[in-house]
Each structure stands twice: as C-alpha cells, then as structure tokens.
Amino acid sequence: MDTSFWAVIRKTVITGVVAGFINVLLYFIGGAIVGGINIQLSPGAGYMVMPPFLPFVASLIPTLLAGLGLWLAARVLSATGIKIWQGAVVILTLLSLISPFTEQVQTTDAGIVLAVMHLVVGGLMLWIMTPRA
C-alpha cells in the first residue's frame, strides 16, 4: 500500500473532485425536486439560494483536510493509523449529518438533500482514499 505524500494527495484530489461533481448534480436534481435549497449564511440573516459552486467547494475542502490526516496517520501510526483515520471519517461524517437539520437550512427536504451530500463525501473518502494491501 502506497502511503507516500503524492500518492495520498492524488487519491485525495480525485476523491474531492468526484464528490464535488456528484454533489453538484445532487444540488441541481435535489434542488429541483424539493423546490430549491435555501440556506442562511450567518445567524439572523435571511435565507438565500445556495450558490451552485458551494457543493463542489464544500466537498473538496474537507476531503483535502482528510487526505492530510490520512497521510499523517499512515506515516506516524502505519496500519493502525489508517484504521483510526477510517474511524474518524465515519464519526465526523455522522456528526456532519446534524448541520443540514439546523435552522441554517430553510426546509427539512433541503436538509435531506444536503445530508445525502455529506454521506457522498464521507463514503467516497472511505472507498477511494483508503489504502489497500
């Protein structure tokens, strides 16, 4: 299993881009089904339509951070570090499912679409980025 920096970064970028494109598709399809995805960018501000680029960026940034975490975990703790990283991805993905159902998202339907996007990112991280023997 190759856990060199550039091998991990290559898989990380691929994962982030794939997750980003899938989530942009979900944004348009899910948004059409639920009547739009309206979010509140700051507390007390009004709701606005989520920008179409946001699902891509919101998929890429956590994936890049996870890739750095994977590389560090693999370097410092070897195979145990990879298992710890996988557990952290599962826990953080599950915890991230809380945010789509807060008052920051206008409707529960839109929250469900956003929760699916979170699952896409976490699932692809585990599937594509996990080093295999």
Q: Is the confidence at residue 133, as pLDDT, over 80? A: no
CA pair distance 68, 40, nearest whole angstrom: 30
**What is each CA distance from 8 to 1, 30, 71, in whole angstroms?**
10, 31, 6
Q: Is the confidence at residue 1, as pLDDT, over 70? A: no
Question: What average pLDDT does the segment 8-28 reach?
Answer: 97
Side-chain half-sphere exposure of 2, counting CA atoms within 13 A: 8
Vertex 113: Cα angle to 130 and 45 (nearest 5): 115
- Supply the pTM of this predicted model: 0.93
What is the reported pLDDT for 41?
A: 86
User: pLDDT tens digits for 27-83?
Assistant: 999 999 999 999 998 888 899 999 999 999 999 999 999 999 999 999 999 889 999
User: pLDDT tens digits for 103-121?
Assistant: 999 999 999 999 999 999 9
